[in-house]
Amino acid sequence: MRLTPEQQAELDAEAGRRAETRRPTVPELEAMLFRALPVLDHGFVRVIDYMGDDAAIVQAARVSYGAGTRRVSEDAGLIRYLMRHRHSTPFEMCEIKYHVKLPIFVARQWIRHRTANVNEYSARYSILDREFYIPELRHLAAQSASNRQGSGAPLAADEAERVLALLREDAARCHDHYAQMLNEGPERDPARSGLARELARMNLTLNTYTQWYWKSDLHNLFHFLALRADPHAQHEIRVYAAAIMQTVRAWVPMAFQAFEDYRLNAVTLSAQMLAVVRRMLAGEAVDQAGSGLSRREWSELTAALRRDAR
């Protein structure tokens, strides 16, 4: 279950309310405000609030008091220019706030993006739910032989099943002991004192789910997505990035298209890489030994150009 009955009832009540406003709104994103996008087995991403739209980016760039130009093509062209030349401040005029439910180990990766405002569910004050992230078999992989922080080939079926059993067993046992140490709930023993919540939480596994509110401006959100939606990012955070991209595409379609074209699906070449490309265009047969690039740089260049590395 991704939303408790109480949370769903709260959302249903909020969805029935209406508020008048003179500020610009985005109907496509308004429709998503009270819908939790499911992620992983128990997680979700939900838009709480937002400020600005594509026109706000244009308005800030021109420092105008109106809504920008009357021609959509001109607005799109300006946004693309800003993205192409990395003019960041107009994108900072837009902000968005999310409610995210995610495993603790994913949250610890996510929090490395220190440009957002975060308020997390407090296990010092409240008791964490008995919900754990258990990966699908196909996402259980061995350690990469070439990348110390990445995964390699999938585990064999029997080994993957053994790992899943260990994950379930450890998470359940640790949460059982967590509940016993708290001495709260229907099985509470009035004859003994429970351990403080701030101490009992240390026993929980990192696949336990937590929740937070996360607010970011659009410029820093694009930076987050460029890193976490990348194919090299860990699967568990990449699926959260994919859910967020659904909301950004609905919110600022012009800016998102520019982001896809100039950041997400683009390639940055070093001066040395560019020199090699120029030699290739001139008809020269260039291999790694004669390129002046390291093996890793050469592999990255050939992958970007979709050429066989030699």
Tell me which residues are annotated as active site: 228
Assigned token pair, 278: 């120029």
d(CA 245, CA 58): 21
Residues contacting 127, CB < 8 A, separation 6+ = 182, 184, 197
Which amino acid belongs to residue 293? L
As a whole number of angstroms, the longest Cα–Cα distance in the chain is 85
Contact 140, 236 (CB under 8 A): no
d(CA 141, CA 151): 6
Q: 98 - beta bridge partners?
A: 47, 214
Give the HSE-up count for residue 119: Cα atoms under 13 Å, Cβ half-sphere.
5
d(CA 235, CA 43): 14
d(CA 130, CA 222): 33
Assigned token pair, 260: 């896809």
d(CA 74, CA 58): 9
Q: 154 - beta bridge partners?
A: 141
